[in-house]
């Protein structure tokens, strides 16, 4: 006879219900699988398997920073419709996941975490939609600097950013947080892929240059001009995909790297972007 855990696993696969609900159903049904399924159906918990096949094209993002500013969490949860994404119950599940991650930052894979699975499984029947975890990102501050985030007004797009500074301005926490927030806004608006051009993988750079060389050749440019054109287009590529090479979303004539230099001079130290993540 299969063990209790094996039966729970089978019941979860067949119904999509949570671990706790499956255990209770098996206990109530005295380990009769079909009766346990019937029990869950009556409780409205077996519809999740059907819902799991439906696409989740809407979402909500939420971020939070610990009181000491050394930990930042960004979580995104998906659902099927914009209507559900705006309900209080859906907002609460996203908030609960953020708070859970903030309290348990060392979890390696939040998508595989049983507690989060149970949280989603518990609310899905009430919302009547397929609810899935998009991702949970946890940043721990590395050395001097600041963490901050930006969430767009639609609550669907968000970003967290970490900046680093030298000892001279390490105590200027509020000013550093404001800079990090500005960079998070930039990240949401302009969708960079890397912090700086040095971060772009060599394979991607060579692939882009090959495309630009081919374009130049097909346009009839002389051989001596092809490489120069490719290099020029590569610089444009970096300005599009690298955060600090981008034009500022607030001041298009100013690069983000110039914005950082200006802020660093005002504060009397050095500032650099360590990393970012965007939903």
The tokens describing 189, both together, are 């608006």
Residues 63 and 158: beta-carbon distance below 8 Å = yes
pLDDT, tens digit, for every residue of 178-200? 999 999 999 999 999 999 999 99
In angstroms, rounded to a whole number, what is the distance separating the alpha carbons of residues 121 and 52? 11
Per-residue pLDDT at 54 exceeds 80: no
What's residue 49's pLDDT?
A: 55
Rounded to whole angstroms, the Cα distance separating 90 from 103 reads: 20
Q: What pLDDT score does 182 carry?
A: 98
Give yes or no for residue 101 having a pLDDT over 60: yes
Topology of domain 4-46, per CATH? Helicase, Ruva Protein; domain 3 (1.10.8)
Domain ranges in the chain are 4-46, 52-140
CA distances from 26 to 4, 12, 15, 21 (A): 9, 11, 13, 9
Confidence category of residue 36, pLDDT binned at 50, 70, 90? confident
Looking at the chain, the whole-number percentage of residues with pLDDT higher than 70 is: 94
CATH topology of domain 52-140: Tetrahydropterin Synthase; Chain A (3.30.479)
Start-end of H helices in the chain: 4-15, 19-28, 33-43, 48-51, 82-85, 88-103, 114-127, 173-190, 202-218, 223-241, 256-267
pLDDT tier for residue 168 given thresholds of 50, 70 and 90: very high
Residue 270 scores a pLDDT above 70: yes
Q: What pLDDT is stored for residue 18 in this prediction?
A: 72
Reading the block at residue 238, the tokens are 């970096």
Q: Indicate if the pLDDT at residue 16 is higher than 80.
A: no
Task: Write down the pLDDT at residue 2.
Answer: 79
From CA 77, how far away is CA 62, in angstroms rounded?
Answer: 9
Q: What's residue 50's pLDDT? A: 58
Q: At what angle do helices 88-103 and 114-127 cross, to 10 degrees?
A: 170
- Distance (Å, rounded) from C-alpha 134 to C-alpha 119? 14
Q: What's the whole-number mean pLDDT along residues 139-147?
A: 96
| Confidence (pLDDT) at 26 | 92
d(CA 188, CA 167) in angstroms, rounded, equals: 29
pLDDT band at 140 (very low <50, low <70, confident <90, very high): very high
- At residue 222 the predicted structure's pLDDT band, cuts being 50, 70 and 90, is confident
Is 70 exceeded by the pLDDT of residue 47?
no
pLDDT at site 44: 60
Residue-averaged pLDDT of the chain: 91
**Residue 71 near residue 105 (C-beta atoms within 8 A):** yes
Q: What pLDDT was estimated at residue 127?
A: 84
Residue 43, pLDDT score: 67
Report pLDDT for 184: 98
How far apart CA 75 and CA 101 sit, in angstroms, is 9
């Amino acid at each position: 006879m299969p063990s209790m855990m094996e039966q729970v696993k089978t019941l979860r696969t067949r119904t999509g219900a949570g671990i706790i609900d499956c255990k209770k159903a098996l206990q109530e049904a005295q380990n009769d699988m079909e009766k346990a399924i019937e029990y869950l159906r009556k409780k409205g918990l077996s519809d999740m398997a059907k819902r799991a096949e439906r696409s989740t094209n809407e979402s909500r993002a939420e971020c939070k920073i610990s009181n000491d500013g050394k930990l930042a969490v960004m979580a995104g949860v998906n659902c099927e419709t914009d209507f559900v994404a705006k309900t209080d119950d859906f907002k609460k599940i996203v908030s609960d996941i953020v708070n859970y991650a903030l309290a348990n930052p060392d979890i390696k894979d939040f998508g595989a975490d049983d507690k989060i699975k149970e949280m989603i499984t518990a609310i899905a029947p009430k919302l009547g939609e397929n609810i899935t975890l998009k991702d949970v990102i946890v940043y721990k501050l590395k050395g001097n600097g600041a963490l901050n985030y930006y969430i767009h007004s639609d609550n669907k797009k968000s970003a967290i950013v970490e900046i680093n500074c030298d000892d001279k301005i390490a105590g200027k926490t509020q000013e550093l947080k404001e800079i990090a927030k500005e960079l998070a806004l930039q990240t949401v608006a302009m969708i960079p892929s890397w912090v700086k051009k040095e971060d772009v993988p060599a394979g991607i750079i060579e692939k882009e240059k090959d495309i630009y060389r081919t374009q130049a050749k097909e346009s009839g440019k002389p051989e001596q001009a092809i490489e120069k054109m490719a290099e020029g287009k590569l610089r444009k590529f970096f300005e599009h995909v690298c955060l600090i090479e981008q034009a500022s979303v607030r001041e298009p004539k100013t690069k983000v790297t110039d914005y950082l230099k200006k802020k660093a001079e005002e504060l009397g130290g050095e500032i650099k972007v360590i990393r970012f993540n965007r939903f």
